[in-house]
């Protein structure tokens, strides 16, 4: 009997021990499962946030990049034709040569630069980050036609982290003088691109520029012949023999919308008539056709220098906008025939 009681007690103890072991094992397995999954998810999310933050930091530290550079090039290519100009871009290879002999960006190292009478530190830094007062990120140059002379070179730069469009029209050596452009369309478009905003479509840029120009009226060969007679031949008292003997040919140059200064341009349908040989400036005329048989005479020198233009800019502006209106006249038949025959376009 005693042996049976002992055996029963041992059996009960064994069952209790087995149950306790099972109860201890189950929570451990569940804890491992529930803890491992959130830990992995948290680590992944943390890595993603860190990556995004790093990417944003990288973008914000560069004022200029290839995307902005392409936007600026697209703007210049759409805006320049409305000004009757064609700009060449410095692409990082061969230097950009101006008509007066300076080479960009080499000139930054070979010649001092001034603004408002003060020397400035300026250099080419494609990303916009550098140690200059003006860190130039893009350079565009337009060499004017031989008759106008000079050049317009835009230096798109960052000054104290802010975008500024500078213009160089220096014609004499020694010091290169620059200033912020007075052309608001160029200045605002660069600022907009630098700030990460869109400058609008190509067509809207062109229309905005064109709307600021007086349209004038299209000119015909007969208009040109009448203009030559009214503005040049008649004041000289020429007859048909005079036209034959004095003039070998009559040249017509379309200067519509041609830029003289960053904030000064001829208006649409503006032309220069000049004789060959041109003995003096009275053998030439600048005019804009403004209506049927009417032209606005722009009384400024043909062979002007850039220095003269800088000194007389407001007078030139007044002539372009408010020059005297002249009614075109028809000369004697044979005189007009000779004039028409000598016109070359």
Angle between helices 66-79 and 184-194 (to 10 degrees): 160
Q: What is the pLDDT of residue 216?
A: 55
Mean residue pLDDT of the chain comes to 79
Instruction: Give, in order, the Cα–Cα distances in Å from 152 to each of 108, 111, 167, 170, 177.
Output: 16, 18, 7, 9, 12
Sign of CA dihedral 98, 103, 108, 110: negative
In the predicted model, what is the mean pLDDT of residues 172-184?
A: 88
Lowest mean per-residue pLDDT among 150-154, 198-202, 326-330: 198-202
In the predicted model, what is the mean pLDDT of residues 30-59?
A: 44
Does 194 score more than 50 pLDDT?
Answer: yes
- Per-residue buried b or exposed e for 212-247, using 16+ beta carbons within 10 Å of the residue's own CB: ebeebeebeeebbbbbbbbbbbeeeebebeebeeeb
pLDDT tens track for 101-159: 999 999 999 999 999 999 999 999 999 999 999 999 999 999 986 555 688 999 999 99
User: Is 209:185 a contact under the CB 8 Å cutoff?
Assistant: yes
In the predicted model, what is the mean pLDDT of residues 3-23?
A: 46
Q: What is the pLDDT of residue 64?
A: 96
User: Is 180:159 a contact under the CB 8 Å cutoff?
Assistant: no
User: Parallel, antiparallel, or unpaired for β 96-97 and 88-89?
Assistant: unpaired
Q: What is the pLDDT of residue 57?
A: 43
Greater confidence, 39 or 88?
A: 88
Q: What is the pLDDT of residue 298?
A: 94
Q: What is the pLDDT of residue 204?
A: 43
Peptide bond into 120 cis (omega under 30): no
Q: Among all chains, which residue has been given the structure tokens 């220098």?
A: 305
Greater confidence, 73 or 145?
A: 73
Residue 326, judged by CB atoms within 10 A of its CB (0-12, 13-18, 19+), counts as middle
Does 343 score more than 60 pLDDT?
Answer: yes
Q: What is the pLDDT of residue 217?
A: 65
Q: What is the pLDDT of residue 48?
A: 47
pLDDT tens track for 274-296: 887 666 566 789 999 988 889 99
CA triplet 201, 127, 109: central angle to 5 degrees? 115
| pTM, 2 dp | 0.53
Does 345 score more than 50 pLDDT?
Answer: yes
Does 297 score more than 60 pLDDT?
Answer: yes
């Amino acid at each position: 009997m005693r042996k049976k009681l002992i055996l029963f007690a041992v059996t009960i103890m064994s069952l209790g021990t087995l149950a306790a072991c099972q109860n201890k094992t189950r929570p451990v397995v569940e804890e491992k499962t529930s803890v491992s999954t959130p830990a992995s998810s948290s680590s992944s999310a943390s890595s993603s946030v860190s990556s995004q933050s790093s990417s944003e930091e990288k973008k914000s530290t560069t004022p200029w990049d290839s995307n902005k550079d392409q936007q600026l090039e697209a703007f210049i290519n759409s805006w320049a034709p409305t000004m009757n100009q064609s700009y060449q871009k410095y692409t990082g290879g061969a230097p950009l040569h101006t008509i007066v002999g300076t080479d960009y960006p080499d000139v930054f190292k070979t010649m001092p630069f001034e603004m408002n009478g003060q020397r400035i530190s300026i250099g080419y830094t494609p990303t916009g980050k550098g140690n200059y007062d003006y860190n130039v990120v893009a350079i565009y140059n337009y060499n004017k036609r031989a008759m106008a002379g000079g050049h317009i070179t835009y230096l798109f730069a960052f000054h104290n982290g802010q975008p500024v469009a500078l213009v160089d029209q220096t014609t004499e050596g020694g010091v290169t003088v620059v200033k912020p452009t007075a052309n608001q369309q160029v200045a605002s478009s660069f600022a907009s691109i630098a700030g990460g905003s869109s400058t609008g479509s190509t067509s809207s840029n062109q229309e905005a520029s064109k709307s600021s120009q007086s349209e004038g009226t299209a000119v015909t060969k007969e208009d040109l012949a009448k203009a030559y007679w009214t503005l040049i031949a008649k004041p000289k008292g020429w007859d048909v023999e005079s036209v034959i003997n004095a003039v070998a040919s009559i040249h017509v140059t379309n200067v519509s919308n041609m830029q003289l200064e960053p904030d000064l341009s001829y208006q649409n349908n503006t032309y220069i008539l000049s004789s060959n040989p041109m003995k003096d400036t009275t053998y030439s005329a600048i005019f804009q056709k403004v209506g049927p048989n009417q032209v606005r005479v722009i009384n400024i020198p043909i062979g002007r220098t850039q220095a003269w233009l800088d000194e007389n800019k407001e007078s030139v502006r007044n002539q372009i906008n408010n020059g005297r209106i002249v009614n075109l006249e028809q000369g004697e038949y044979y005189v007009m025939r000779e004039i028409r025959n000598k016109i070359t376009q």
